[in-house]
Amino acid sequence: MTGVSIIPQATIAEARSTDVVFVPNVMVNGPASLRSLDRRLLEWIGKMYAQGAQLYAACGGSLVLAEAGLLDGGQATTHSSYAPLFRDQYPRVTLHPERILVQAGPGHNVVCAGGASSWQDLTLLLIARRAGTKEAIRISKIFLYQWHRDGQLPYASMIENVSHGDAVIVSCQEWIARHYDRADIVTELVRRSGLPKRTFDRRFRAATGYSPLAYIQALRIEEAKQILETSAVPVDAVGREVGYEDAASFRRLFRRLAGMAPGDYRRKFRPPNIVLKAKQTAKASPTLSLQEG
The pLDDT value recorded for residue 293 is: 37
Domain co-membership, 147 together with 38:
yes
Going by C-alpha positions, the residue among 44, 39, 15, 46 that lies closest to residue 110 is: 46
Report yes or no on 248 lying in a domain: yes
Q: What is the CATH number of the domain that holds 66?
A: 3.40.50.880
The pLDDT value recorded for residue 290 is: 41
Q: What is the SS3 assignment for 111?
A: strand
pLDDT digits (tens, 9 = 90+) for 206-257: 888 889 999 999 889 988 988 888 888 999 999 999 999 999 999 999 998 8
The pLDDT value recorded for residue 103 is: 85
Domain co-membership, 51 together with 109:
yes
Mean pLDDT calculated for residue range 172-196: 91
Domain co-membership, 26 together with 144:
yes
CA distances from 183 to 96, 119, 162, 190, 254 (A): 32, 42, 25, 14, 17
Burial class of residue 244 in the structure, from the number of CB atoms within 10 Å of its CB (0-12 exposed, 13-18 middle, 19+ buried) = buried
DSSP for 59-107, written as a single string: TTHHHHHHHTTSSTTSEE---GGGHHHHHHH-TTSEE-TT-SEEEESGG
Domain co-membership, 24 together with 106:
yes
More confident call, 4 vs 54? 54
By the 8 A CB rule, do 93 and 112 touch? no
Domain co-membership, 91 together with 149:
yes
Domain co-membership, 53 together with 126:
yes
Looking at 155, 190, 224, the residue that finishes a domain is 155
User: Left (φ > 0), alpha (ψ -120 to 50) or beta: where does 69 sit?
Assistant: left
Going by C-alpha positions, the residue among 223, 258, 229, 257 that lies closest to residue 241 is: 223
Domain co-membership, 66 together with 175:
no
Domain co-membership, 144 together with 187:
no
Report yes or no on 29 lying in a domain: yes
Report yes or no on 44 lying in a domain: yes
The pLDDT value recorded for residue 291 is: 45
Domain co-membership, 100 together with 179:
no
CA distances from 184 to 159, 176, 193 (A): 21, 11, 15
pLDDT digits (tens, 9 = 90+) for 124-147: 888 888 888 788 878 888 888 776
User: Left (φ > 0), alpha (ψ -120 to 50) or beta: where does 98 sit?
Assistant: alpha
Mention every residue, 6+ apart, whose C-beta is less than 8 A from residue 189. 172, 175, 176, 200, 212
Report yes or no on 1 lying in a domain: no
Domain co-membership, 182 together with 133:
no
Domain co-membership, 147 together with 174:
no
Its sign, for the CA torsion 222, 223, 229, 235, is negative
By the 8 A CB rule, do 258 and 265 touch? yes
The pLDDT value recorded for residue 65 is: 96
- Domain region containing 27: 20-155
The total number of structural domains that make up the chain:
2
**Prediction pTM value:** 0.58
Looking at 125, 155, 185, the residue that finishes a domain is 155
Range from 50-59, 84-93, 274-283 carrying the lowest mean pLDDT: 274-283
By the 8 A CB rule, do 138 and 104 touch? no
Strands, E assignment, the chain: 20-23, 54-58, 75-76, 94-95, 101-104, 110-113
Report yes or no on 177 lying in a domain: yes
Q: What is the CATH number of the domain that holds 197?
A: 1.10.10.60
Report yes or no on 116 lying in a domain: yes
How far is 102 from 123, CA to CA, in rounded Å?
Answer: 14
Domain co-membership, 121 together with 67:
yes
